[in-house]
Amino acid sequence: MAEESRANGRFERALVVGAHPDDPEFGFGGTVAKLTAEGTEVIYVVCTDGCQGGEDPAVPDAELSAVRYAEQRAAAEVLGVREVVFLGFRDGSLAPTLELRRAITREIRRWRPDLVLTHAPLRSLDGAIGAFHPDHLAAGEATLSAVYPDARNPRAFRELLAEGLQPHRVREVWMPGFDHADHVVELSPELVERKIEAIRCHRSQFDKPEMEPGAPAVWVRERMRKAGEKAGVEYAEAFKRIETA
């Protein structure tokens, strides 16, 4: 049977760190819906401005970013997320730099989450290549480095102390499991539909010639069904869970 989602007791607050607008929903949407329904406060941190997520090179970057930020806010609202923080790094250029680590550390210290959900920092060569966008790997690596050691170490990024941001220890990190999954969050059909409704808010991402209408709902549901099947439940999202306290 599936393991309970509260792997280490109840979570007061969860921070979801995604590379692009739409990653929080594709990667964690069902789990976010479940957490907020259980009373966990969820905050999104979106690292990039989403300006590469389109097919028309004539559209100005700022225009596309504005559309994607609005879509991200709407999707977050569907899932009951309290706040969306946009770090504004350039889409397609993300690297696990000290600058990115500092920006994520700032948000960890500001929101003080027990649980962090983010991308895996490693490629799985068996997974769909789209899951391993280089920005995802960079966001995953920078987030793990922010969780340990930066957010908890008072000597790291000392300028954050001057902003009133004290060190903070995150208790757990969950990343999409791929070939390392060891934690399954069971999702009811209602939570699955909520995730799909949130994904549908990212309209600009489905306005592509090769995309059949309704296609994202089909493959997103199928992915949750496959993750559930492995765990003996109908639908699930599967993660690699690490304890980081």
Q: Could you list the residues that contact Zn ion (CB under 5 A)?
A: 19-20, 23
- Report the C-alpha gap between 173 and 143 in whole angstroms: 9
Task: Return the number of the residue (19 or 146) whose C-beta is nearest Zn ion.
Answer: 19
Residue of this chain nearest to Zn ion (CB atom): 20
DSSP state of 197: H
Task: Convert 122-147 into a string of H (helix), E (strand) and C (coil).
Answer: CCCCCCCHHHHCHHHHHHHHHHHHHH
Task: Return the number of the residue (17 or 173) whose C-beta is nearest Zn ion.
Answer: 17
Q: Give the H/E segment covering residue 85.
A: strand 83-89
- Report the C-alpha gap between 147 and 227 in whole angstroms: 27
| Smallest separation (angstroms) from Zn ion to the CB of 198 | 15
For the record, the structure tokens of 79 come out as 């899932």
Task: Return the number of the residue (116 or 233) whose C-beta is nearest Zn ion.
Answer: 116
Task: Return the number of the residue (80 or 92) whose C-beta is nearest Zn ion.
Answer: 92
| Smallest separation (angstroms) from Zn ion to the CB of 65 | 14
| Smallest separation (angstroms) from Zn ion to the CB of 158 | 32
- Report the C-alpha gap between 88 and 49 in whole angstroms: 5
Task: Return the number of the residue (111 or 132) whose C-beta is nearest Zn ion.
Answer: 132
Taking the CA atoms of 201, 25, 32 and 72 in sequence, report the sign of the dihedral they define: negative
Other residues' Cβ atoms within 10 Å of the Cβ of residue 11: 20
DSSP state of 114: S
| Smallest separation (angstroms) from Zn ion to the CB of 119 | 8
Task: Return the number of the residue (5 or 143) whose C-beta is nearest Zn ion.
Answer: 143
| Smallest separation (angstroms) from Zn ion to the CB of 190 | 26
Query: Distance from first CA to last CA of the chain, Å, rounded?
Result: 26
| Smallest separation (angstroms) from Zn ion to the CB of 19 | 5
- Report the C-alpha gap between 148 and 41 in whole angstroms: 22
